[in-house]
Structure 1
Amino acid sequence: MRLEKAYERMMAVAVAALHEREPERLWPMLAGTLADVCGGEAVIHKLDEWSESEGTIGTLPDAAAELARLGEADLGLLRAGYPFAGHYAAGTDRTPVSAQRAAGRTWPSSATARLLRDVLDVDHVLGVPLPGSGAPITGCLVYRAGTDFSDDHLTVAERAQPLLAAVERQRLLLEEWRRALGPAGAPDERAADCALTPRETAVLLLLTDALTADAIGRRLGISVRTVHKHVENIYRKLGTRDRVGTVLRAQRLGLVPAPGAAGATRGQRS
């Protein structure tokens, strides 16, 4: 697959994901396409912070059954993230790298490589961390059998990183929004009644936190111009003309937390 075509395909899926109202569906929407454009067969992604003893492993359905049979010791080995944890802990560089390139000749004989051959029938892993993620590193692991990932695969993965980061920010915001507003489905229905897209809902939530357009853009990984466009759409759909009026109306409609609960959304990870 040509680089430009692969990136365009990944971008199209990411844009579609940003319009998905169910945050739990975002990564499954991305994972299959990410594996395909990066030359892989399966993907594992971090749904929360991992340690060797805890952390939710998100995966494609094809690998879920195999992973479900693993014991705690083997799950701990996967969560340890060899050799990526050590590779990325050494600095701030988050460029995608394969296990073979990071660990060199020791990779095929490592305990992690043996486990992956036995469980998933794969030989190589590509680490795709989210830009700016700290310790423990958050991101995806792409798996393939046969030869190592090529330079082109690594290039596509690097170009996809900002898209993955944008979707992850959206997921975190929507999950916080749901937790703050009550029963599953109710916030989504209220937003749909006002014709707000999930992206506009995310912007509205950050408006409630009194963030500037610059700050909203940085949080969501979009330009200030795009933020202003979303804000204009929100004003039009809610029938308001300024930020204060918009926040008050959104609170009355149950679209954002009431003043006493507004702080619940501020602790979310960026």
Structure 2
Amino acid sequence: MLHGLDRAYERLTELAVAALNEREPERLWPLLAEAVTALCGGETLIYKLDDWSEDKGTLGMSPAAAAALGRLGDASLGVLRSGYPFAHHYAAGLGRAPVTARRLAGRAWPVSETAQVLADSLDLDQVLALPLPGTVAPITGCLVYRSGTDFTDDHVRIAERAQPLLAAVEQWRRLSAAAGEPAESAADCALTPRELTVLLLLADALTADAIGRRLGISARTVHKHVENIYRKLGTRDRLGTVLHAQRLGLVPTPGQATPGQARPRKGPAAGKTRGQRLRPPGTVADRDEQ
């Protein structure tokens, strides 16, 4: 399955590039939902970007799932909304790692009310939870569904790799949808000239060592600048930082130049577009920044 994992990780990189170039926030999650469903070995996916509760919250799903769930009564729909067995597990502070219903609930899963509703309404019997990292109760994220055997270890690994990408895209979606204006201005971030230069090089997917060589400083100093950038922008990873910085106009969007800002001179990666060079969190370059 090694080759399959490599291809899945390449696909996640492609998704990151697609997200960077998508200018309609409402299209981001449908784009991700279709791809994540296939990458995780599922047949359909339901995502919730607000409360996992029995009586409220907006659900996003495939057309097939929407049609099937539209035929459910309030009681059955409430059973699915309750998120068994995941909601209690994540709300208890047991981490945000993806996990399947079968592994979490064991023998109790096939005979649960949730499994019965899924089987009767969607002809599905396995579920993989993919919560957004960094969220607190109530939990937000995705539920991937399939029929037959449980999701494999490789499917769970891919889900783990997808989590930072989903979180970054959701952050960008919220910012983009907020009244058409960023919640803060570039000036509010108070980045120093050196931090801004490091930010521009982060967007070029350079490692800490490469940034240090470019600027004539140590990798340790680069890490300190990166920590300051994350703190000032309120972000946690490279992709989320670049997306947020693009929204604020601190770095150019793909194919555009930021007025009044001089780009750092090109290095060995010249000739590629920024979208091609940007890697999602979890890649080798991003781990150098951690």
- AA at the equivalent of 1:174: S
Matched, 1:37 2:39: yes
Choose which of 92, 96, 99 in structure 2 pairs with 1:97.
Answer: 99
SS in 1 for 2:178: helix
Give the fraction of aligned pairs with identical amino acids, expressed as a percent: 53
Choose which of 46, 49, 54 in structure 2 pairs with 1:47.
Answer: 49
- AA at the equivalent of 2:250: V
Choose which of 218, 225, 231 in structure 1 pairs with 2:250.
Answer: 231
Matched, 1:75 2:94: no
Q: Is the 8 A contact 1:49 1:55 kept in 2?
A: yes
Tell me the CA shift for residue 222 of structure 1.
1.9
Aligned length: 218
Tell me the CA shift for residue 63 of structure 1.
1.2
Distance 1:119 1:126 in 2: 18
Query: CA-atom RMSD, angstroms?
Result: 2.7
Tell me the CA shift for residue 67 of structure 1.
1.3
Distance 1:76 1:211, change over 3 A: farther
Tell me the CA shift for residue 14 of structure 1.
3.0
| Gap runs ≥5 in structure 1 | 181-201, 243-270
SS in 1 for 2:134: coil
| Superposition pairs of residues 111-122 of structure 1, within 5 angstroms | 111-122=113-124
Aligned residue for 2:196?
none
Q: What do the CA deviations read for 1:59-84 (whole angstroms, capped 9, x no partner)?
A: 01221111112222122111110000
Aligned residue for 1:158?
160
Q: TM-score, normalised by structure 1?
A: 0.72
Aligned residue for 2:58?
56
- AA at the equivalent of 2:95: D
Aligned residue for 1:14?
16
Q: TM-score, normalised by structure 2?
A: 0.68
- AA at the equivalent of 1:149: F
Tell me the CA shift for residue 141 of structure 1.
0.2
Tell me the CA shift for residue 211 of structure 1.
5.9
SS in 2 for 1:128: strand
SS in 1 for 2:110: coil
Q: Is the 8 A contact 2:44 2:145 kept in 1?
A: yes
Aligned residue for 1:214?
230
Tell me the CA shift for residue 10 of structure 1.
2.3
Distance 2:233 2:94 in 1: 22
- AA at the equivalent of 2:38: D
Q: Is the 8 A contact 1:14 1:164 kept in 2?
A: no
Distance 1:56 1:225, change over 3 A: closer
Aligned residue for 1:257?
none
Distance 1:220 1:207, change over 3 A: farther
Tell me the CA shift for residue 237 of structure 1.
4.4
Distance 1:11 1:61, change over 3 A: farther
Distance 1:26 1:96, change over 3 A: same
Aligned residue for 1:24?
26
Distance 1:166 1:223 in 2: 6
SS in 1 for 2:12: helix
Distance 1:232 1:89, change over 3 A: closer
| Superposition pairs of residues 85-234 of structure 1, within 5 angstroms | 85-178=87-180, 205=184, 207=186, 209-210=188-189, 212=191, 213-215=229-231, 218-219=234-235, 221-222=237-238, 226=242, 231-233=250-252
Distance 1:76 1:206, change over 3 A: farther
Distance 1:171 1:84 in 2: 25
Distance 1:160 1:223, change over 3 A: closer
Q: What do the CA deviations read for 1:147-199 (whole angstroms, capped 9, x no partner)?
A: 00011110110011101111111111111143x5xxxxxxxxxxxxxxxxxxx
Name the one with the larger helix percent. Answer: 1
